[in-house]
Amino acid sequence: MRECFVGVAGGAELYCRETGEGPPLFVLHGGPDFDHTYLLPDLDRLADGYRLIYYDQRGRGRSRGPLDLAAIDIDLFVDDLDALRRHFAAESAVALLGHSWGGLLAMHYALRHPRLTSHLILLNTAPASTAEMERAGGERVRRRARYAGRMEALAASAEFNAGEPAAVSEYWNLDFATTFARPQDAQRLVIRSTREDTLRGRAVEECLMRGLYDEPSFDLASRLRGLEGVPTLVIHGELDFIPVEASARIAGAIPHARLELLRDSGHFSYIDAAPRVRELLAAFYPATGSRE
């Protein structure tokens, strides 16, 4: 495992974690108020066949340096990702794996740099429109019914609003339990965040939503039709709180994209459907080597 910091615009430095051997695969974490660590150790199973390049997005995790919230938007995050591509791959096109929010970021990158995107893998991706995100939000609320009392109490607590790790972790574990076939598997998700990290992440997320889901008219579908030359794999768990129609619409908009539905799997299919995810990736973006 190799670690480094890569300088980007505005004097910031992005923390990067590189592991494995084989074709490079840039991993874009979700949230956007999380960092890459919630993907570990499960996604590292791919390191026997891929050179995984994780990074903490600007203002998240171990990334450091000035954070100008007024400058935060999706274009800046695309610029940051392109700076990492140049650092790790020079002028070569790269494969992107975006989970949840990371899928939306990956789509924006591919739209800006289609010739520099060799493969696009959208793993339990966030929706491509405000309308679909609102439907996902409604489904999420419906599923929370059995935990509603406790989650409402947590959300209203001084501890949660101050970003205290114990309250934040309990809240997310309850929320994410609704997307696993076995709710207890949500305990395998570890949201590593200090109080300061959590508050900063919330601020970053609020800024990023401007021009995206904060806009009623936001919809990428018509633009996605321009990704004809970008091989795309969309993986969706049937238990995901994001309705399958959102992923189907993305796959239908991108020419020649392939949609794969996973049974007994939810929003974290790299955990609850790990062998099938690996199989799909190997067929779509061939890896090297194998682990006994």
- 14 forms bridges with which residues in the sheet? 6
Residues 6 or more apart from 96 whose CB is under 8 A from it? 25, 26, 28, 81, 106, 109, 110, 117, 119, 120, 121
Whether the model clears a pTM of 0.85, i.e. scores above it, the answer is yes
Q: Return the pLDDT at 288.
A: 62
* pLDDT per residue of the chain (292 residues) written in tens, 0 to 9: 999 999 999 999 999 999 999 999 999 999 999 999 999 999 999 999 999 999 999 999 999 999 999 999 999 999 999 999 999 988 899 999 999 999 999 999 999 999 999 999 999 999 999 999 999 999 999 999 999 999 999 999 999 999 999 999 999 999 999 999 888 888 888 888 899 999 999 999 999 999 999 999 999 999 999 999 999 999 999 999 999 999 999 999 999 999 999 999 999 999 999 999 999 999 999 986 443 3
> What is d(CA 185, CA 227) in angstroms, rounded to the nearest whole number?
36
| Burial label, 92 (beta-carbon count in 10 A; 0-12, 13-18, 19+) | exposed
**DSSP-based three-state secondary structure for 278:** helix
Sequence-distant (≥ 6) Cβ neighbours of residue 254 within 8 angstroms: 120, 224, 225, 227, 230, 232, 234
Are the C-beta atoms of 237 and 265 separated by less than 8 Å?
A: yes
Cα dihedral sign, 64-70-71-73: positive
Domain range list for the chain: 2-139+179-284
Class of domain 2-139+179-284: alpha beta
3-state helix/strand/coil string of 112-134: HCHHHEEEEEEECCCCCEHHHHH
Neighbours of 289 (CB within 10 A): 11
